[in-house]
Every structure is written in structure tokens, then in C-alpha cells.
Structure 1
Amino acid sequence: MMTKPTLDIDSVAAFLSIADFRSFTKAADALGTTQGAISVKLKRLEQRLGHKLIERTPRLVRLSAQGAIFLNAAREFLMAHDRALSALSAERRHFRLGIASHMAGPETPTLLARLNERDPALTIEVRLDNSRPLLDAFDNGDLEAVIVAQEDDRRDGEDLGPEHFGWFAAPGFDWRPGEPLRLAAFLPCCQVRDIAMQALDRTNIPWNEVFVGSGYAVMAAISAGLAVGALACRLAPADTVEVSERFSLPELPSSRIMLHSTLSDTRSRDALRTLAAAYREHRSVRYDAEVG
């Protein structure tokens, strides 16, 4: 009688992390381990199953045909494991997380939902706001963790990488030099808004705010062709284009994405590490395309 291979939880988790992030480095960050350890676990899983699950080249990491078949079953396997562990524990945990509005991309709800599936005993309360109010709430103990832009007078926290900014507009947006530049801007006290206004003032470009709102509302106004906006390159809507060169707009300085946390229990920190890994990207694909 042929013995069926036994799946190893850590190896399956490594495979799923690589599949989700399409990167061995980001997968290792999410699991709090090293790239070498991730590779060893994947190789062990592939040997047990007798199939190549991940295809890897110097520039690309992707699922093999067998990996794509195995993906959903592997995710269900890991979720069942985590639910079983949670069922044996009456401990329910929660933490309050703040994310700067201009950094909360469309991937954030998906990541939070996935964390909830993996660990139903964990509740994450999310607050979106500008970086400064979030840091104040963190310092006052109202939030256990924040993902925010770096403040000039603050050097603590974990650096998750740079945030690059650009001027974005709908392809058909038109502006004639000499006329006030029509801007869609985030609410006052937003770091991105302040950077954009200061850059325009330094170069003596007249401007007029024609739309002020929250993150998604500003992006919708830009996509609709109502105005130009200063946005993080990785979050700019796909139907917009970078127009710095076209309109001779000033270069916007990069910032840093910082994580501040007071979490101490292992499982909450693991969940936060998974979220942080999504932001740990040194140069977004869109930024590379714009500057390359």
C-alpha cells in the first residue's frame, strides 16, 4: 500500500506566502524569516508532493501549472489548521491599527479579510486618517500600531521602504500655463497635500483647489478629469497618467513608510507583519515604468 505524503504546515504557509507576494523576499518578511529558510521549506514541500509548484527566474516568480492547481487546496488546508487552533482557545484578541489615508491602497481590505480568515480570534479595528493625528493617537495609547509617513522630527519605528509621489491626471486633462492649476487634494493636514502645495509655491505655479476630500474621493476626481493630484505612485488609478514632464510640474520628494507598534503577543505581531510586508516594496512597478 502506497503511503501518502504528509503535508507540513510551515512548508504550506511558505508556499502560500510566495504565491501571494510573488516574491521570496516579501514572503520571508511576512513570515518573519529569511529568504533561505523560505526556499528550503518550498523545496521540502515540492519533494513531498513530487511536483514543481513555483517557477523562479532572476526577474520573475510565478506559480507553475501544478502550483496553480494546488493553491486553493493549500489555502483551505492552512485555514482549517488555523481554525482548529482558534477553536481550542477562548482567548479573543484585538488591536487597533491606524493607516495613513494616502497609503491605504485597494489591497488593504483584501489583506485584512485574509487575516480574518486565517485567525478568526483576532479582530483588527482600522482607522484611516492623516499621519500626524494617527501618530498622536498612537502616542496617547489609543492605537496599538500605525502605518504612516515618516515625520521629520521622529526617527523611531520600522522602516517599510520609500513612498514615491507624482502628479497624476486623466489622459485628456488639459491645462494651459498661466492659468491656475486645477488641483484635487487631500483634506488639510495631509502630508502629501502640504508637499504638493509647497512645491508649486516654490516654482511660482498658480493653483486652485477645485476638489478636496478623502483618498478614494480624490482619486475619483482625478480619474474623472476634474483636476491634477499629487499621489503615491503605487496607488495612482490605472486610468491616470503621470504628467510632471507634460506640464513642467515640480518634482515631489519621496517619503518613507514607517510602522510603529506596541504589540507584544506573537500572533498579533505575526498578523501585523503580514500587513507590513505588503508595504515593504522599495520601488513599485508603476514608479519604475514612469521613471524608467
Structure 2
Amino acid sequence: MKVLDLDAVRAFVLVADLRSFTRAADALDTTQSAVSLKLKRLEAHIGKQLLERTPRVVRLSADGEAFLDGARNLLGAHDRALGALSAQKRRLVLGLSEHVAGADLAALLARVNAHDPALVLELHMGSSVPLLQQFDERRLDAVVVRYEPDEVPRDDGQLLFTEPLSWLARPDWQPRAGEPLPLALLAAPCNVRSVALRTLDGAGIAWREAFIGGGVQAVGAAAAAGLAVSPLAKRVAPRGLVDSGARLGLPTLPESRVVLHSRVRDARSIESLRLVTNGLSAQ
């Protein structure tokens, strides 16, 4: 009977989830070469090729697809066994900007739970400014927020990735000729709202508020309903909306920086937090 190396199995599951040796290495706080070596040894041990490696893409082989569910179950059983010995579950209170959480959030949360079932994840979503305030008040353990180009990120943050905003609308949507551009926006204060309006003002384009939402989902729904065009990151937009900036003659929106602020110190929770942030980067 073959005994599996749990560290190698965990590395395999992370590579499968993140589709990247680099992101998996970051989540495990190790190097890409160390992850690659673990996977090669695992494949040699079980006598199966689990991954198809190309210069740009990492894909599961047929054997890798078959092995994945069992690997998750093995890690889950291991973590549940260890969790049973702990009198107190770990809790991670995370703030996540609505402008960063993508459509695959449910799948990401499922991966985090499968990876670390002993973790109680408390997720708060909202705008970056109030989330940062809650972090400073120590009500949140970590936050993932957006900084717009005219904002200077604080020196206690870690840059995760940069991402442009887009003017999103239905493919057939057109504003009425001779009228100000109708916009679907989040209520102030909102940094995305501010940078979009400054961009339009700088280009001399008249605009009006056609819809004001209390959340990104509401704003996206207004754009999908044909009420207006909305400045959003593509990752958070409803299906069917397209980047319409060039078609409508609108100025290009600048890139935002997505930044992590964290005071998490527990090694296992740090690993789970890395899985979240790398999953967001991969969306």
C-alpha cells in the first residue's frame, strides 16, 4: 500500500485550483521549484502523470482529474482530524471590496473550505474606504481593497495586482443623442465613482446620474437592464455586459491597484488568506 506525502498532495491541489505553480508556491510560502519537485515526486510515487505542463498553461491530465477529488477528501480528513484536537476553531475576519470580488467567488470560497475546513471565514464586503476604516479599528483581520491612480497606497499594504476599469454596457446600448451620458454608479463615497467622473470631466463629456446603487450587484443590474453605462471592473460585471468605451467614444479609464492589508499571524490562516488572494488574481 502506497503512503502519500500530504505536503505534495496539498501542493497538487493548489496547483490544480490556481492553474499556476507560481501562485501555488506563494500560497505555500515556498518556491516554484520546490512545488514542481513535490509534484514530480508525487507523480513518480503513484506512477501517473497528474499535470500537463506547457510554457503558458498548467492543465490537469485525465489521471489528475480523477485524482483531484480523492486528494481533496484526503486533505479534508487530515485537517478535520487535527481540528478535532483543538478546543477552539480559528476565525479569519476578511474584508473584500465589492469591486474586487469576481463572479467566481463561490468557487473560491469552496476551495478555501476544502483546503482548510477548520477555518471559520467571516467575510465582509463593501467599498474600500469603509473597509479600511474597519481594518484600522481592528474589526477586520485583513482587507483586500482597490486604490485608484490618484490615491497613494499605505505602506502597510501588499500589492496583489493591477486591473483596469471599463465602461460596461449592453452590446446594443446607446445613449440618446444630444443628452448627457447616463451613468449607473455606486453612491458616494466611492473611489471608482470619483475616478470615473473625473475622467469624464477631464474629457469634457457631460454626464448625469441615471441610477445610484448601494452595491456593485445593483449597479451591474442597472447596466444590464439598459439604464446606463457603468464604470466597473470586468470581473464583477454581470454576463452580457461588454466594454463599450471605444464604441461610445469615452476616455480610457486608468488602472487600479488591488492591495492586501493584513495583521494575520497564524501560519495556517496566512496560507488560507494567500489562497484567497491568489484566487482573486487568477480570475
TM-score range, shorter chain: over 0.9
CA distance change for structure 1 residues 99 and 37 in 2, over 3 Å: closer, same or farther? same
Deviation of residue 70 (structure 1)?
Answer: 1.0
Report the secondary structure of 2:99's partner residue: helix
Q: Which residue of 2 aligns with 1:63?
A: 60
> Given the alignment of the two structures, is residue 99 of structure 1 paired with residue 100 of structure 2, yes or no?
no
- In structure 2, C-alpha distance between the alignment counterparts of 1:117 and 1:35, rounded to whole Å: 22
CA deviation map 1:235-288 (0-9, x unaligned): 33331111111111011111111101111111221111111112335xx7xxxx
Taking the aligned partners of 1:34 and 1:153, their CA distance within structure 2 comes to 27
Query: Which one of 148, 163, 167 corresponds to residue 145 of structure 2?
Result: 148
TM-score by length of 2: 0.93
Offset from partner CA, 1:30-81 (integer Å, 9 cap, x none)? 2222111111111011001111110011122111111111111111111111
> What SS class does the counterpart of residue 15 from structure 1 fall into?
helix
Q: Is the 8 A contact 2:6 2:75 kept in 1?
A: yes
Residue aligned with 2:71, SS: helix
TM-aligned CA deviation for residue 5 of structure 1: 2.0
The number of residues matched between the two structures is 279
| Contact persistence 1:169–1:225 (CA under 8 A) | yes
Q: Shift of the alpha carbon at 1:177?
A: 5.0
2:100–2:235: 8 Å Cα contact kept in structure 1? Answer: no
Q: 44-53 vs 147-156, which deviates more?
A: 147-156
| Code of the aligned partner of 2:173 | F
Q: 3-state DSSP class of the match of 1:160? A: strand
Aligned: 1:81 with 2:82: no
Is 2:15 the counterpart of 1:14?
no
Q: In the aligned structure 1, how far is the partner of 2:10 from the partner of 2:114?
A: 14
Contact 1:161–1:279 at 8 Å: present in 2 too?
no
Q: Could you say if the C-alpha distance between residues 153 and 118 of structure 1 is closer, same or farther in structure 2, counting changes exceeding 3 Å?
A: closer
| Residue 121 (structure 1) shift | 3.1
CA contact (8 A) 2:181 2:207 kept: yes
Structure 1 segments of 4+ aligned residues over 4 angstroms from their partners:
none
Q: Which moved more, 1:253-262 or 1:204-213?
A: 204-213
**Residue of structure 2 in register with 1:128 after alignment:** 125
Distance in 2 between the 1:72 and 1:108 partners? 20
2:271 counterpart of 1:274: no
For the residue of structure 2 that corresponds to 1:102, the secondary structure is coil
Maintained 8 Å contact 2:103/2:235: no
Contact 1:91 1:121 in 2 (8 A): no
Q: Deviations over 1:158-182 (max 9, x none)?
A: 1101021111111111124532111
**In structure 1, distance between residues paired with 2:177 and 2:41:** 61
Q: Which amino acid aligns with 1:212?
A: I
Residue aligned with 1:178, SS: coil
What letter corresponds to residue 158 of structure 1 in structure 2? Q
> Which of 34, 37, 61 is the aligned partner of 2:34?
37
Query: Which residue in 2 is equivalent to 1:200?
Result: 200
Q: What's the counterpart of residue 23 of structure 2?
A: 26
Offset, 1:29: 1.8
Identity of aligned residues (%): 50
- Asked if 2 retains the 8 angstrom alpha-carbon contact of 1:257 and 1:279, the reply is no
Residues in 1 aligned to 2:225 and 2:251: alpha-carbon distance in whole angstroms: 23
Q: Which residue matches 1:53?
A: 50
Number of the residue aligned with 2:218: 217
CA distance in 2, matches of 1:222, 1:123: 35
Q: Which runs of 5+ in 1 are unaligned?
A: 285-292
Aligned-CA RMSD value:
1.6
Q: So what's the TM-score if we normalise by structure 1?
A: 0.90
Query: Are residues 238 and 59 of structure 1, via their aligned partners in 2, closer, same or farther at CA, if it must alter by over 3 Å?
Result: farther
Where 1:251 maps in the other structure, the secondary structure is coil
The runs of 5 or more residues in structure 2 that have no matched partner are none
Aligned to 2:187: 187
Give how far 1:153 is off. 5.6
Take 2:241 and 2:175, find their aligned partners in 1: how far apart are those partners? 15
Higher deviation after alignment, 230-239 or 192-201: 230-239
The offset of 1:126, in angstroms, is: 1.3
SS of aligned partner of 1:256? strand
* CA deviation vs aligned residue, 1:97-134 (integer Å, no higher than 9, x gap): 11112111122233233323443432121111211111
